[in-house]
Homo-oligomer: A and B are copies of this chain.
């Protein structure tokens, strides 16, 4: 009991530090963020931060990695509805598209994107890691789903990797513009409109499988 409570406390503190770190890094950027501020935000003393995470760099890497994992998981959840190949995929596509946009429009996503770009030069490996665990995995998952839909005759035969890539591009590209890189709030209605426009275009190109064969 005591042991569990203690280690719980330890873990909580570490989590608190990582969360505070991501928050501060997101607001200030890597270089401008100072460890003292992170410590303050986490409610601990500066050396405690160092005890748990060695370095400003290490702190940054762990904070970013954790955020990337969170976003990645959210994204995978968002496209879960596409697993069903028994139905016309259009409603599921519209739903997933909107869910993805909500995630991408979230603060965490914007911050992650921002930080990743910002530190491209300093931590290129971290950029790759983040991309893999977020858009990379998402694209793969999506490609899998699209491939099955295509096989099931719900989508025209196509390269599922390209299709997934383009669907995502049709979602995130316009969002980036409309949100002005994340500096502007985008209403739910606008998100829906982006999502639907994306799905429309996507289906124009990839829709219409066997049920209404375009004589592929």
Contact = CB atoms under 8 A, between A and B. Distances in A.
Number of copies: 4
A114 B122 contact: no
A162 interface: yes
A183 B114 contact: no
User: Interface residues of A: mostly helix, strand, loop or mixed?
Assistant: helix
Interface string A168-181: 11101110010011
Interface stretch (A14-22, A60-68, A196-204): A196-204
What band does the interface of chain A fall in when counting residues whose beta carbon is under 8 Å from B? 35 or more
Contact of A118 (B29, B136, B165): B29
A109 interface: no
Contacts of A121: 26-29, 32, 114
Interface string A11-48: 00000000000000011111110000000000000000
Interface of A: 26-32, 113-114, 116-122, 124, 127-128, 131, 135-136, 139, 162, 165-166, 168-170, 172-174, 177, 180-183, 197-198, 200-202, 204-206
